[in-house]
Amino acid sequence: MFLAVAFVLGFVLLGVGSGTTGLTDAFQSAFSLGSGGGTSISSLEKKTVQHPQDANAWRDLATAYEQKQRTNDAVTALERYTALRPKDDSGLAELASQYTTQARGFATDYQAAQTEGATISPQTTFAPAASTIFGKIYADPKALRDPISQLLETQAQTKAQTAYSKYTAAQQSAEATFKKLAGLTPTDVTVQYQ
């Protein structure tokens, strides 16, 4: 009985074997004592609205967005920050990095839309050769076409085109930002490579 009580007390009060420090961690997590995890995004957004020329507020907001993996919002905040501080090479590097992350996301969207389009109309994979009579009939957009699958194909193509346009825009923005950064730091080999 004594060992059971000692085990419970050691585990609960001292955190033995649990990877915590016992009751202190339990109280901190239950009542959010200690560090609160930083400033909330909503308060940072209010700060930028109240003080739109405060570059540090925009940088803090961008950092908060990055921590929440809100890349598009982080890009917007960093664009504003770098407009206020155009010679800040770390801000430009961060913006270029966010553009690159954004481009990767759009590339993934593009690939998903292409895959979706291919799965919507698998009959194109098994279509007869275009040189045959059936192939010519099949290739005719007015013959043997299901209007529902045509609509779905059109939607998938639109998604793919939109994602590709966003991808190229993000890539061009990243390139332009890296060029600005290279102008500020002409001897930085990493920037030149990027």
For 18-62, give the DSSP string.
Answer: TTS-THHHHHHHHHT-S---S--HHHHHHHHHH-TT-HHHHHHHH
Whether the predicted model's global pTM rises above the 0.85 cut: no
Structure confidence at residue 119 (pLDDT): 77
Q: What is the pLDDT along the chain (194 residues), one digit of tens a residue?
A: 766 666 666 665 655 554 444 444 444 444 444 444 457 899 999 999 999 999 999 999 999 999 999 999 999 999 999 999 999 999 999 999 999 999 999 999 999 988 887 777 655 556 667 778 767 766 665 656 666 777 888 888 899 899 999 999 999 999 999 999 999 998 988 888 88
User: Looking at beta carbons, which pairs linking 160-163 to residues 24 or more positions away fall under 8 Å?
Assistant: 160/110, 160/113, 160/114, 160/117, 163/106, 163/107, 163/109, 163/110, 163/112, 163/113
